[in-house]
């Protein structure tokens, strides 16, 4: 019956269902919802957890006493509802101080403030039990390249991430850090724009094992890339630490649509990839209800994200058990035990033997792999006629 349960590990950010429908051209269309109210509603809908930026919960200018009071109330809501906080992050983008970047700002004072703010946010996340810490560098970028050298920006970024990884270890927080790439918006160009760029950067950090990815469906799609391929590469590298599920039309502004709302086929292959690969992390929906909606629409949106995921999970199971589909896949993946033995690992003997082999190129090129039939069956399965 596609009823979400905590065991499905569905999570939402306070900023997602809490989105008030502001856009660059228009004022909010919805009233703010309190963090406690969001927690109770999400638990009722069958979610597993709620994630937050420091300032989704604690205003940036709160006193220590205000912080403690807010935290007490929020923790009570978590206890009463059974919701957990698997992931935390820092708002390094809303305040004007970050208008030209946080960790990569050209101003050393602002860079230091960004690191200080993140340490406080890490303390907050740890207090709420979070084990995944996300870095979305929304303001880490530029509109013009006249002022700063990108090499400097990358060096500053590295310095900040290295510092914060050491801080986490010194505090015993046990965080795994997940970098979230995005090509643009709010900056004209954001550093580490896509999954591949973040993977390359992680290899240059002091403690690369602590760092992985938080890829977002909409972000790779904005860049015109195949999100399923990006996630597969993160999994292949052992770096899928978290995932932001939503949807997006290619080549548009950042839409953060309900999961599965736009690219249903890609959503299907994504769910299949996550389920088949044994990904154990949260299924986080980083999206929001359409600006047209009232509060009822917000909860329809949240329910819809989770339902679509569960329906696609069932479709993936069906796909894996469909005899005809599986036979087509088997035929597609042509096996040759003898040749595979030669190519598995280089040796002088294998190389010599392979060089001596004769291949009938014409015959090999002739065979069609059968993808038209296989893809049509996939489409029919998704349309519910199989
Ligand atoms: C912001 C952004 C998201 C990030 C969030 C984490 S905040 O809403 O658009 O993609 O995941 O900082
Ligand atoms: Mn987005
Ligand atoms: Mn986003
Ligand atoms: Mn995101």
- What mean pLDDT value characterizes the chain? 98
Instruction: State the closest ligand 1 atom to the C-alpha of 214, by its place in the atom list counted from 1.
Output: 11
Catalytic site includes residue 68: no
Residue 208 CA to residue 201 CA, distance in Å, equals: 9
Residue 346 CA to residue 138 CA, distance in Å, equals: 44
Sign of CA dihedral 191, 149, 165, 171: negative
140 lines ligand 1 (CB under 6 A): no
pLDDT score of 288: 98
Q: Is residue 40 over pLDDT 90?
A: yes
Catalytic site includes residue 56: yes
Q: Is residue 213 over pLDDT 90?
A: yes
Q: Is residue 249 over pLDDT 90?
A: yes
Number of neighbouring beta carbons within 10 Å of residue 148: 16
Q: Is residue 372 over pLDDT 90?
A: yes
19 lines ligand 1 (CB under 6 A): no
Q: Hey, is 173 helix, strand or coil?
A: coil
Residue 260 CA to residue 245 CA, distance in Å, equals: 9
Per-residue pLDDT tens for 94-139? 999 999 999 999 999 999 999 999 999 999 999 999 999 999 999 9
pLDDT score of 148: 79
Annotated binding site for Mg(2+): 180, 216, 219, 244, 254, 256, 286
**Angle at CA 198, nearest 5°, toward 197 and 204?**
100
| Alpha carbon separation from 162 to 67, 201, 330 (Å, rounded) | 28, 12, 46
Residue 203: pLDDT band by 50, 70, 90 thresholds? very high
pLDDT score of 204: 98
180 lines ligand 1 (CB under 6 A): yes
Per-residue pLDDT tens for 260-308? 999 999 999 999 999 999 999 999 999 999 999 999 999 999 999 999 9
> What is the average per-residue pLDDT within 231-257?
97
Which residues make Cβ contacts (< 8 Å) with residue 178, sequence separation at least 6? 87, 132, 133, 134, 135, 211, 212, 213, 214, 241, 242
Q: Is residue 230 over pLDDT 90?
A: yes
- Of the chain, the percentage scoring pLDDT greater than 70 comes to 100
78 C-alpha to ligand 3 centroid (Å): 25
- Is residue 15 left, alpha or beta, with left meaning phi > 0 and alpha meaning psi from -120 to 50? alpha
136 C-alpha to ligand 1 centroid (Å): 6
107 C-alpha to ligand 2 centroid (Å): 27
Interhelix angle for 64-81 vs 35-45, to 10°?
20
List of E strands, the chain: 10-13, 49-53, 87-89, 132-136, 141-142, 176-180, 189-190, 211-213, 244-245, 283-285
> What is the average per-residue pLDDT within 240-256?
97
Per-residue pLDDT tens for 297-317? 999 999 999 999 999 999 999
Residue 177 CA to residue 133 CA, distance in Å, equals: 5
pLDDT score of 54: 98
pLDDT score of 344: 97
Sign of CA dihedral 183, 185, 188, 191: negative
Residue 59 CA to residue 125 CA, distance in Å, equals: 15
Residue 271 CA to residue 228 CA, distance in Å, equals: 9
Pocket test for ligand 1, best of 138, 214, 218, 287 (most atoms within 8 A of CB): 138
Contact predicate 382/265, CB 8 Å: yes
């Amino acid at each position: 019956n596609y009823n979400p349960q905590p065991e499905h590990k569905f999570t939402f950010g306070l900023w997602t269902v809490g989105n008030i429908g502001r856009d660059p051209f228009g004022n909010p269309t919805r009233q703010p919802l309190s963090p406690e109210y969001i927690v109770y509603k999400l638990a009722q809908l069958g979610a597993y957890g709620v994630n937050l930026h420091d300032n989704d919960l604690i205003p940036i200018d709160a006193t220590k006493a205000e912080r403690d009071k807010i935290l007490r109330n929020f923790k009570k809501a978590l206890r009463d509802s059974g919701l957990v906080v698997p992931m935390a992050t820092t708002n390094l983008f809303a305040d004007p101080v970050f208008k030209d970047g946080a960790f990569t700002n050209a101003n050393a004072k602002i860079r230091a403030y960004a690191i200080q703010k993140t340490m406080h946010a890490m303390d907050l996340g740890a207090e709420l039990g979070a084990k995944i810490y996300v870095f979305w560098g929304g303001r880490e970028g530029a509109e013009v390249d006249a002022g700063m050298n990108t090499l400097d920006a990358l060096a500053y970024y590295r310095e900040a991430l290295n510092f914060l990884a050491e801080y986490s270890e010194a505090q015993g927080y046990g965080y795994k850090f997940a970098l979230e790439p995005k090509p643009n918006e709010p900056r004209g160009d954001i550093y580490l724009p896509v999954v591949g760029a973040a993977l390359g950067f992680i290899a240059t950090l002091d403690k690369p094992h602590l760092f992985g990815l938080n890829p977002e469906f909409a972000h790779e799609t904005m860049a015109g890339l195949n999100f399923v391929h990006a996630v597969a590469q993160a999994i292949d590298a052992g770096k899928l630490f978290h995932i932001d599920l939503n949807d997006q039309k290619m080549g548009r502004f950042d839409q953060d649509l309900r999961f599965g709302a736009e690219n249903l086929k890609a959503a299907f292959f994504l769910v299949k990839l996550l389920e088949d690969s044994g990904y154990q992390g949260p299924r986080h929906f980083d999206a929001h209800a359409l600006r047209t909606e009232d509060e009822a629409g917000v909860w329809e949106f949240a329910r819809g994200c989770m339902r679509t995921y569960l329906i696609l999970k069932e479709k993936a199971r069906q796909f894996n058990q469909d005899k005809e589909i599986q036979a087509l896949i088997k035929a597609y993946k042509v096996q040759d035990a003898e040749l595979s033995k030669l190519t598995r690992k280089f040796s002088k003997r294998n190389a010599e033997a392979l060089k001596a082999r004769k291949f009938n190129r014409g015959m090999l090129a002739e065979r069609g792999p059968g993808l038209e039939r296989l893809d049509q069956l996939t489409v029919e399965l998704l349309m519910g006629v199989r």
